[in-house]
Amino acid sequence: MENELSFERKISFEPLLISIFFGVVIATIFYSIFPKYPLISLILGILAFVSESTVIYPKYLSKSYGYWKIDDQGVYYYDYSTWEKRVLAIFLPKREKVIKMPFADIKNFSIVDGKSIMNTQYPLGGSLGVPLTRRINCLVIRTGHRQVRLNCAWKSSGIPTTADDIKKIVEFIDSKMK
């Protein structure tokens, strides 16, 4: 067995650069339509940048960037639990500190897929937004005072995870918790 398993992507400057580009595009489009109002174009570009980087990206950040790894010492992950932490991760991605969770702190864990999650938005329940192409699994770790949900959709190399990868996660954690 490998000594380390890693999943998802690390946060980078990509969300910030895309937000800047989005603001420039909005300002340019408005300026090309209304060249007599450059100040309004600039204000709209700034508003587009701010809304993209503080409202839109933070909502989807944990789905796009959720790097975590398991090694012999424990589980390492980045905490995106609050809106403020997500916005800070967008503007200062190199400042993000990894959180270490030793195996001794883990009370229990489970692997959850889209079919196992009960959808409470509909009276009859059902599965929660299962993708058509493949299942997306999550590792849910419970400690004494918190619960951490880590996505297992992609390996850190960019390859989609397989059933064997999920099995390796379970075996690795089981071997370290004994």
- Half-sphere exposure in the Cβ direction for 152 (13 Å, CA): 26
Q: With bands split at pLDDT 50, 70 and 90, how would you rate the model's confidence at 125? A: very low
pTM of the complete model: 0.76
**What is residue 103's predicted lDDT score, i.e. its pLDDT?**
87
What share of the chain has pLDDT > 70, as a percent?
A: 86
In tens, the pLDDT along 147-159 reads 888 888 888 888 8
Average pLDDT estimate for 120-124: 49
Per DSSP, what are the bridge partners of residue 75? 70, 101
**What is residue 175's predicted lDDT score, i.e. its pLDDT?**
84
The closest of 97, 105, 110, 96 to 149, measured between CA atoms, is: 110
Distance CA 104, CA 174 (A): 12
Distance CA 30, CA 27 (A): 5
In tens, the pLDDT along 73-117 reads 888 998 888 899 999 999 999 888 888 988 888 888 888 875 555
In tens, the pLDDT along 41-76 reads 999 999 999 999 999 989 888 778 888 898 888 889
**What is residue 31's predicted lDDT score, i.e. its pLDDT?**
96
The closest of 165, 106, 115, 168 to 140, measured between CA atoms, is: 106
**What is residue 22's predicted lDDT score, i.e. its pLDDT?**
96
